[in-house]
Amino acid sequence: MRGYVGLVLGLALGLTACGPNNNTTKNQQSGGDIRPMVSASGETTLRRANSAEPDSLDPHYTTSQQEDNIVGDILLGLTTNGPDARPIPGAAERWETSADGKVWTFHLRDHQWSDGTPVTAQDFIYSWRRILDPKTAAAYASILYVFKNAEAVNAGKMPVEKLGVRAIDDKTIEITLENPAAYLPELMMHMTAFPVPRQAIEAKGKEWSKPGNFVGNGPYTLAEWIPNDHITLKKNPKFYDAANVRIGNVIYYPTSIPEAALKRFRAGELDVLDGVPATQIAWVKANLGGMFKVEPFLATGFYDINTSKKPLDDVRIRQALNLTYDRDTIAYKLLPYGEPPSYSVVPPGVANYPQGVSLDFKDLPYQDRVKRAQDLMRQAGYGPDKHLRLEFSTSPSDDARRVAAAAQQMWAAAYIDVEIRQLESKSYSANLSTGNYDVAAYAWLGDFNDARNFLFLFLSNNDLNYARYKNPAFDALIRQSDQEKDLTKRGTILAQAEALMLKDSPAIPTRFQVTTNVVRPYIRGWVTNIMDKNRTRWLSIDTSAPTQ
């Protein structure tokens, strides 16, 4: 899942290193003595920070974590995230798999859309055909290419009716896969696999996912969307498990400025903060330690290099950018998150994947890396008297600016002069999609625990391949891994693909990420997990709990 540039978006509003604020009380400065939001009738409201304004709430046009946070509260896939984010039965109450692992049969539970219409197997078939229809132009359609014929359908080479899914009856769905995929239950809880309401789409078109029109099958429904201010969800009384949904409302605030978001948290305007700026980590640990939730994250940060633009189509220049980026210094000295530097794209600990795949210079002293980079740049026609000029795109946060400035100095050692461009979310996304960039900060949040979910970003036919990387040998290895049933052998093939891609350097791995949430002590049910997902359905607010 796309993460916007790896550092939370932010426009600095000048919060200092957490000295006293003249407009807050002492208790507010420490985040204590803050009361939950409760109506006169006792209905609770959860106020959640959300790193950026969503582009859409139609799951066929969403790609990012901030969108998934909301969509996962209002729509329900065949499986869903449990309290610890692991897959549990969702719209389907059970399923079976064929002996060869290629045919899965899901049995739907009796439940309704929020307009009272029954949810049927045909709704899922309609939804999957819609997202894979090339007319939809869904950027994330490739995540479902494991479905039989999905890639051909998405390319317009087959009609949508040829997609390997069918409704056996109103409550039974059969999915045929291109190859065995033990991770399918994890994939089915991803937003691309969510059902969408055909009746609402046919009545309202693209406006179906707006307030007043929205129809969903999740625990909440869309009540209000004030752009760039907040999105309010209300408990869905039609949800099959509504009796166990304990929070009445949830408000998502697009807190694209991490420094300002922390200020709002301290002032009591937020119950959950989804990221902490680097300059404030020490203060947060000292003053909000009990609320600070840190966990290794199934996510990796990297910089995409636009291989379709000259002279970045020259592998020597891309390798020089990689060599001179001192990820160890940035991870250990500039950023205090405890995120390890990365020399690969696939994070450590991914299931059924061998360790040890990395850029070949990992153990080379930094000065030797710089010398190698200089040699490569000279071979490419650059040197002390002829520098290469590039643009580096990143988010507008203070943290992003600090990291970009450090990288700027590092690249200069290899005769590369970089101009830093700090962009807002929508401009950033548009530039990545259209290739209007040279080098751009990026991050990928795993959709499921499998190396392919990270490596598929570099497949030639993937719309999410923003680096425009094309290597038929890499594509062939991924295809070969898809057909390998032995998990150990499959992991070895995927590792070969990653090693090849790293040598070609379409991206600069930067660091493996951790979650940095801050959660009020009166929030119950929060489970820190590697997916960084805590669906509101599983949370509650203890109005009798101490506030600090």
What per-residue confidence (pLDDT) applies to 31?
Answer: 47
- Specify the range with the lowest mean pLDDT, choosing from 4-8, 131-135, 161-165, 208-212: 4-8
Q: Per residue in 243-266, is it b (16+ CB within 10 Å) or e — as a string? A: eebbbbbbbbbbbbbbbbbbbbbb
Say which residues have a Cβ less than 8 Å from residue 143's Cβ, sequence separation at least 6: 187, 190, 192, 447
Pairing of strands 79-81, 523-524: unpaired
CB atoms within 10 A of CB 418: 22
pLDDT class of 22 with cuts at 50, 70, 90: very low
Report which residue type is found at 318: R
Q: How far apart are CA 319 and CA 343, in angstroms?
A: 13
**Tokens of residue 173, six digits:** 């769905």
For helices 472-483 and 487-504, angle between their N-to-C axes, nearest 10 degrees: 170
| Across 439-464, average pLDDT | 92
- Specify the range with the lowest mean pLDDT, choosing from 6-20, 226-240, 328-342: 6-20
| Across 395-406, average pLDDT | 89
φ, ψ dihedrals at 235, nearest 5°: -55, 135
pTM above 0.75, yes or no: yes
Question: What is the dihedral sign for C-alpha 243, 244, 249, 250?
Answer: negative
What per-residue confidence (pLDDT) applies to 152?
Answer: 97
Q: Per residue in 41-57, is it b (16+ CB within 10 Å) or e — as a string? A: eeebbbbbbbbbbbbeb
Tell whether the model's pLDDT for residue 548 goes beyond 70.
no
Tell whether the model's pLDDT for residue 371 goes beyond 80.
yes
The better pLDDT of the pair 548, 145 is held by 145
What per-residue confidence (pLDDT) applies to 254?
Answer: 95
Residue whose pair of structure tokens reads 């820190």 in the numeric block: 528
H runs (alpha helix) in 205-301: 258-266, 281-287
**pLDDT 10s digits, 514-544:** 888 999 999 999 999 888 999 999 999 998 8
**Tokens of residue 548, six digits:** 């600090």
What per-residue confidence (pLDDT) applies to 63?
Answer: 87
Question: What SS3 state is found at 81?
Answer: strand
Residue 259 near residue 13 (C-beta atoms within 8 A): yes
Question: What SS3 state is found at 84?
Answer: coil
**pLDDT 10s digits, 137-181:** 998 999 999 999 999 999 999 999 999 999 999 999 999 999 999
Q: How far is the CA of 359 from the CAs of 6, 209, 300, 311, 318, in angstroms?
A: 20, 43, 15, 22, 13
What per-residue confidence (pLDDT) applies to 28?
Answer: 42
**What's the chain's average pLDDT?**
91
Residue 295 near residue 514 (C-beta atoms within 8 A): yes
| Across 362-369, average pLDDT | 97
Tell whether the model's pLDDT for residue 17 goes beyond 70.
no
Report which residue type is found at 215: V
Q: How far apart are CA 94 and CA 91, in angstroms?
A: 9
Q: Per residue in 305-315, is it b (16+ CB within 10 Å) or e — as a string? A: bbbeeeebebb
What per-residue confidence (pLDDT) applies to 389?
Answer: 98
Question: End-to-end alpha-carbon separation of the chain, Å?
Answer: 34
**Tokens of residue 236, six digits:** 């869905």
**Tokens of residue 467, six digits:** 């680096």
Q: Which of 431, 468, 443 is nearest to 305 (CA)?
A: 468
The angle subtended at Cα 6 by Cα 206 and Cα 134, nearest 5°, is: 30
Q: What is the 3-state secondary structure (H, E, C) of 70-92?
A: HHHHHCCCCEEECCCCCEEECCE
| Dihedral, CA of residue 373, residue 374, residue 375 and residue 379, to nearest 10 | 100
Tell whether the model's pLDDT for residue 26 goes beyond 60.
no
Residue 475 near residue 484 (C-beta atoms within 8 A): no
Question: What is the dihedral sign for C-alpha 152, 156, 157, 161?
Answer: positive
pLDDT class of 425 with cuts at 50, 70, 90: confident
The better pLDDT of the pair 484, 134 is held by 134
Q: How far apart are CA 258 and CA 261, in angstroms?
A: 5
Q: In this structure, what DSSP letter does residue 461 have? A: T
**pLDDT 10s digits, 259-279:** 899 999 999 999 999 989 888
What per-residue confidence (pLDDT) applies to 547?
Answer: 57
Question: What SS3 state is found at 271?
Answer: coil
pLDDT class of 35 with cuts at 50, 70, 90: confident
What per-residue confidence (pLDDT) applies to 530?
Answer: 86
Say which residues have a Cβ less than 8 Å from residue 269's Cβ, sequence separation at least 6: 47, 253
Tell whether the model's pLDDT for residue 453 goes beyond 80.
yes
pLDDT exceeding 90 applies to what percent of the chain?
77
Q: Which of 365, 367, 363, 380 is nearest to 319 (CA)?
A: 380
Residue whose pair of structure tokens reads 């891609």 in the numeric block: 501
Question: What SS3 state is found at 287?
Answer: helix
pLDDT exceeding 70 applies to what percent of the chain?
93
- Find the length of the chain: 548
**Tokens of residue 376, six digits:** 């490569």
Q: How far apart are CA 526 and CA 539, in angstroms?
A: 6
Residue 468 near residue 318 (C-beta atoms within 8 A): no
pLDDT class of 447 with cuts at 50, 70, 90: confident
φ, ψ dihedrals at 468, nearest 5°: 60, 30
| Dihedral, CA of residue 255, residue 259, residue 263 and residue 269, to nearest 10 | 10
